[in-house]
Amino acid sequence: MSSNVPIVRQISWPAFAIVFAITLAFLFAFEYIFQTDDVFIGVIIFSILAIVLRMTVPKSHRKGMKALKQNDFETAIAHFKKSVDYFTRNKWVDKYRVITVLSSSKMCYREMGLCNIAFCYSQTMQAEKAKALYEEILEEYPDNRIAYYALNSINTFSNKNNEPS
């Protein structure tokens, strides 16, 4: 089932370069340690490591994204709240996500989770909750363009509805 839910993937190019460097270092280390010229085995092992990290560390975030794509916003909210709680308790995992999850995302998982919760609120007709959460996001992450534009849209829509006919 395809979804019309917008998915935003912002890449941090410096983080991408670090992930690329980690990949190369892993391959060279693999070749040096195992004294083999078969880089393919190193690629397979690194790929498995990357998949395992991305499947296990941000597990609740992934479940939230799956629910979001299925337009199951209430379930998505529950999963994203778990994700935000996890990354709030384990700030270092999120801060060093380029190493801990091999993620080159520009936004941290906590920030993404909060934006996704606010988006889900807006899709479930909880505009006031969405607005309040977008405002919180902008206080904590002032450069968050998603929250900025979403909040502007909510405010514009609210102002148009409040105008006399």
pLDDT in tens, 80-109: 999 999 999 999 999 999 889 988 888 999
Share of the chain above pLDDT 90, in %: 56
pLDDT band of 2, cuts 50, 70, 90? very low
Among positive and negative, which fits the CA dihedral 17, 20, 25, 28?
Answer: negative
pLDDT score recorded for residue 84 = 98
Q: Are 113 and 94 in contact (CB under 8 A)?
A: no
Q: Are 71 and 65 in contact (CB under 8 A)?
A: no
Q: What tokens appear for 18 in the block?
A: 């670090």
List the domains of the chain with CATH numbers: 57-162 (1.25.40.10)
According to the model, what pLDDT value does residue 1 have?
A: 40
Structure confidence at residue 160 (pLDDT):
61
Task: Answer for the pair 68, 76: CB distance below 8 angstroms, yes or no.
Answer: yes
